[in-house]
Amino acid sequence: MHLLRSLLIVLAALMALPQMGAAQAVDPEVQRAEPDAATTTLEDILRRQEGLSSDDTAARRALTGVREPTESASDGPLGTLGGASDADLWRAFRFDEGEITTQARGPASNVIMQGGGQWWLELREGPVLHWGGYLLLGTMGLLALFYLIKGRIRIEGEKTGRRIQRFTGIERFGHWLIAGSFVILALTGLITLMGREFLIPVFGLELFSDIAIGSKWLHNNVSWAFMLGLIMVFVMWVAHNIPDLTDLKWIAKGGGIFTKGHPPAKKFNAGQKMIFWVVVIFGVSVSASGVALLFPFQITLFEPTFAHLNSWGVPSLIGMESFPTDLEPQEEMQFAQLWHAIVAFVMMAVIIAHIYIGTIGMEGAFDAMGQGDVEEQWAREHHSLWAEKKLSEGAGPTRGASGATPAE
């Protein structure tokens, strides 16, 4: 009987053991103290990461043991809170409160940390990269659809075999300078933005590194050719691109795309004028932001721009209080990069459409830039007012049916 009682006691003790173990295990949910005002909470950290302000008042600092900004985090005396911890130091860097001196004397070298970097990186690697890509693919898709439905825009009338000069040598040089450099800039720019995501998996790290270095070199240096081409194109063609009444009529008729016959146009029709002004305005903007990126921290573009936009009340139009006007040098660069990429994407989309219409989209168009002259019938159909003027001025056809310049 005694033995049986002893056995039962041992058995009961064994059954109770796992429960005792469970009671001793630390359950993080149950055991952790409720965060009080003296604890740096996850919410605080997340808010800081998002660039939002967390409760960093003096009262809170006193509770959390954070030193006042006036107390140097690095060399203050040992107080009741002990020496400056790593957290104190990094917090001082993060909120620009430490007395930071650096040996590097370059611009922006005394900013050790700035929260905008995370926001910028996420925007650059996320929406800018992806929506930019969709914009280009969407444009190509629409053009392919247009080609499938409408086909090539042909010269409708009988070809005359006579040709009219459309662009001089210098005009074509300026065009191909801006065109060639733009294509190189677009490709190398896309490699820089998208290479990590799309090319590293294909080429591997080593090869992509070479591609990226080459791309950057080309992009930085070819930019000057683009700017020169932009100036040339602007000077040579601005007079032909001032909007006038003919353009309204051309637009009202949808450029003749959906109707029979072509609305009258001078040297450039309204569609071409739009391309011209996109190239000029966006070209200047992409160049300005590009030069700011090329010479880091030397050019301040966004602070004054935001200040102007604020004074014109623009932020309220999009439901914002105001644009930031107290930018760290790095933030200037971040805005320059984002703007550069966004403007470049819009330009690329427009230029893809331009290249389409200048090559496979329209019969006889490429000749204008290729050899400098066009079929008289093409000129009469697409630029009737310009063709009449040219012919009446006695410019006459430059070449006969054989393509040879006629004898005087």
Q: Residues in the site for ligand HEM, rule: CB under 6 A?
A: 166, 175, 178-179, 182-183, 233, 268, 272, 275-276, 279, 351, 354-355, 358-359, 365-366, 368-369
State the Cα–Cα distance between residues 284 and 233, nearest whole angstrom.
12
Q: How far is CA 301 from CA 182, 317, 334, in A?
A: 23, 22, 11
CB of 128: closest distance to ligand HEM in angstroms? 20
Which residue, 90 or 282, is less far from ligand HEM as judged by CB? Answer: 282
Residue 164 pairs in a beta bridge with 374
Which residue, 120 or 356, is less far from ligand HEM as judged by CB? Answer: 356
Tokens for 203, please give them.
Answer: 């080429």
CB of 405: closest distance to ligand HEM in angstroms? 20
Which residue, 73 or 186, is less far from ligand HEM as judged by CB? Answer: 186
Which residue, 120 or 182, is less far from ligand HEM as judged by CB? Answer: 182
For 270, counting Cβ atoms within 10 Å of its Cβ (0-12 exposed, 13-18 middle, 19+ buried), the class is buried
CB of 394: closest distance to ligand HEM in angstroms? 21
CB of 293: closest distance to ligand HEM in angstroms? 19
CB of 375: closest distance to ligand HEM in angstroms? 11
Which residue, 73 or 365, is less far from ligand HEM as judged by CB? Answer: 365
State the Cα–Cα distance between residues 68 and 211, nearest whole angstrom.
49
Tokens for 154, please give them.
Answer: 């042909």
State the Cα–Cα distance between residues 162 and 396, nearest whole angstrom.
9
Which residue, 114 or 269, is less far from ligand HEM as judged by CB? Answer: 269
Q: What length is written for the chain?
A: 408
Which residue, 174 or 329, is less far from ligand HEM as judged by CB? Answer: 174
State the Cα–Cα distance between residues 376 and 160, nearest whole angstrom.
6
For 66, counting Cβ atoms within 10 Å of its Cβ (0-12 exposed, 13-18 middle, 19+ buried), the class is buried
CB of 214: closest distance to ligand HEM in angstroms? 21
Residue 374 pairs in a beta bridge with 164
Residues 6+ apart with CB under 8 A from 95: 56, 69
State the Cα–Cα distance between residues 146 and 125, nearest whole angstrom.
31
CB of 153: closest distance to ligand HEM in angstroms? 12
Q: What's the first-to-final CA gap in the chain, in angstroms?
A: 138
Which residue, 207 or 385, is less far from ligand HEM as judged by CB? Answer: 385
CB of 163: closest distance to ligand HEM in angstroms? 13
